[in-house]
């Protein structure tokens, strides 16, 4: 095996043109196991942090899928596309977007910050009657998705550049899970007098507590003799949930589905139960002063 642990998560920096499924396939080969998953798809054009679960680590991904995320992106104002990014076909003629002042752009960005309703991009992976929206679009269907609530915690314009008639904005977005940065680009173009806009670059820099600075490159195809660091189950769970240490007796009780007394911090609802060595024993819910095991890690897989 070419990973440092058989169970845990691996932080990877997905390269451009790779699908998230491609990355999972590589990790299955490198880790010599079929039990690999990820905590949130990145489009092929996007790069950046992809959290991969290995072995029992796949069971922790559900606690990361809904985590807040941060992205850097480049939004090109002046033309819309069929996919809201550079991979789509242009919609209509380009317009001159270089005249928008910093104040006008800031006002449009501000309107797209906070708790808002967002219509996902039609080429998203959302299922419509059992089929992915992007598959229906590629089949020639007119797909209309319903708006959904999201939270854009921060939407910052870092720099601006004029490229011919276009205004390119380098931005950083911190947002709730389920936010489509392509849709933010589309809506920004609409807010700027309907001039249209699309993404030309996208990079995910953070998922929950994990950053792309911690990530390793995805091993190139054909290079399987590599070593990738895998974060253990205990360290991972403690980073995303409230950690609680228990005695050996309580750890054993949880293994058998019993409910020992909870003595951890007040207000916690779902906790990571660790043994004296910091290994993950269970993910448990706090109910009526007791630990109710929701997920139990087999002794041989704890890390």
* Number of Cβ within a 10 Å radius of residue 225: 7
**Average pLDDT over the chain, rounded to an integer:** 92
Exposed/middle/buried for 5, CB within 10 Å: 0-12, 13-18, 19+? buried
Average pLDDT value for residue range 158-178: 97
Task: Decide if 234 is inside a domain.
Answer: no
Is 33 found in the same domain as 121? Answer: no
Is 113 found in the same domain as 156? Answer: yes
Task: Give the tens place of pLDDT for each residue, 209-258.
Answer: 999 999 999 998 887 778 889 999 999 999 999 999 999 999 999 999 99
Active site residues: 43
Higher pLDDT, 46 or 145: 46
Task: Give the tens place of pLDDT for each residue, 276-295.
Answer: 999 999 999 999 999 999 99
Task: Give the tens place of pLDDT for each residue, 23-38.
Answer: 999 999 999 999 999 9
The model's confidence at residue 134, banded by pLDDT at 50, 70 and 90, is low
Please say which residue of 163, 182, 217 terminates a domain.
217
- Domain with 251, as residue range(s), is 241-301
Quote the number of domains for the chain. 3
CATH number, position 60: 3.30.70
Give the C-alpha separation, 113 to 108, whole Å. Answer: 9
pTM: 0.92
């Amino acid at each position: 095996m070419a990973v440092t642990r058989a169970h845990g998560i691996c932080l990877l920096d997905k390269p451009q043109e790779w699908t998230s499924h491609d990355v999972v396939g590589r990790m299955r080969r490198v880790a010599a196991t079929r039990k690999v998953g990820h905590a949130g798809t990145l489009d092929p054009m996007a790069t950046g942090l992809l959290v991969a679960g290995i072995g029992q680590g796949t069971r922790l991904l559900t606690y990361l899928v809904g985590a807040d995320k941060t992205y850097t992106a480049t939004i090109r104002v002046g033309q819309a596309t069929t996919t809201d990014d550079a991979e789509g076909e242009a919609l209509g003629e380009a317009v001159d977007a270089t005249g928008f002042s910093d104040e006008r752009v800031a006002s449009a960005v501000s309107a797209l910050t906070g708790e808002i309703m967002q219509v996902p991009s039609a080429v998203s992976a959302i299922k419509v009657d059992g089929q992915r929206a992007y598959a229906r679009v590629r089949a020639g269907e007119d797909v209309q998705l319903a708006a959904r609530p999201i939270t854009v915690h921060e939407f910052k314009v870092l720099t601006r550049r004029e490229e011919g008639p276009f205004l390119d904005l380098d931005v950083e977005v911190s947002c709730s899970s389920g936010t489509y940065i392509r849709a933010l680009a589309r809506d920004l173009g609409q807010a700027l007098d309907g001039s249209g806009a699309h993404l030309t670059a996208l990079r995910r820099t953070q998922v929950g507590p994990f950053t792309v600075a911690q990530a390793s490159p995805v091993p190139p195809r054909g290079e399987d003799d590599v070593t990738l660091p895998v974060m253990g189950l205990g360290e991972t769970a403690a980073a995303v949930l409230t950690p609680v240490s228990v005695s050996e007796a309580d750890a054993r009780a949880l293994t058998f589905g019993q409910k020992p007394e909870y003595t951890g911090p007040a207000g916690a609802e779902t906790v990571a139960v660790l043994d004296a060595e910091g290994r993950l024993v269970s993910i448990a819910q706090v109910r009526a002063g007791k630990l109710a095991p929701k997920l139990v890690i087999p002794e041989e897989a704890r890390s």
